[in-house]
Amino acid sequence: TQLLEQSPQFLSIQEGENLTVYCNSSSVFSSLQWYRQEPGEGPVLLVTVVTGGEVKKLKRLTFQFGDARKDSSLHITAAQPGDTGLYLCAVEYGNKLVFGAGTILRVKS
């Protein structure tokens, strides 16, 4: 059983559509990080959320941390082909960073 469950596993949409991906757990965390990974590269941090109910915006990306700090969502408005990639959530677990399996997003032009 994975500590973090991400859904959907795969999402293919047209340019201009909106989408939401989810990161869920039965455990409570003090913070949660979102990363994006492009093909052939390592993941890159997008944002860290630390407060229950927190909403952070990064241009067309909106990140929310659940009130109970067990889950998080990433909403993309008007997706562009440049948003294509693997989106990973991660949490601190002891002194390790544990990742979910990720959501593969493909945005077609």
Partner 1 sequence: NAGVTQTPKFQVLKTGQSMTLQCAQDMNHEYMSWYRQDPGMGLRLIHYSVGAGITDQGEVPNGYNVSRSTTEDFPLRLLSAAPSQTSVYFCASSYSRGTEYNSPLHFGNGTRLTVT
The distance of closest approach from Cβ of residue 50 to partner 1 in the complex, given in angstroms and rounded to an integer, is 7
- Phi/psi for 40 (5° steps) reads 80, 5
17 binds partner 1 (CB under 8 A): no
Q: How far apart are CA 107 and CA 13, in angstroms?
A: 5
18 binds partner 1 (CB under 8 A): no
Q: Pick from 6, 15, 28: which is nearest to 99 by CA?
A: 6
Q: Which residues in 48-87 contact partner 1 (CB under 8 A)?
A: 48, 50
Closer Cβ to partner 1, 19 or 104, answer by number: 104
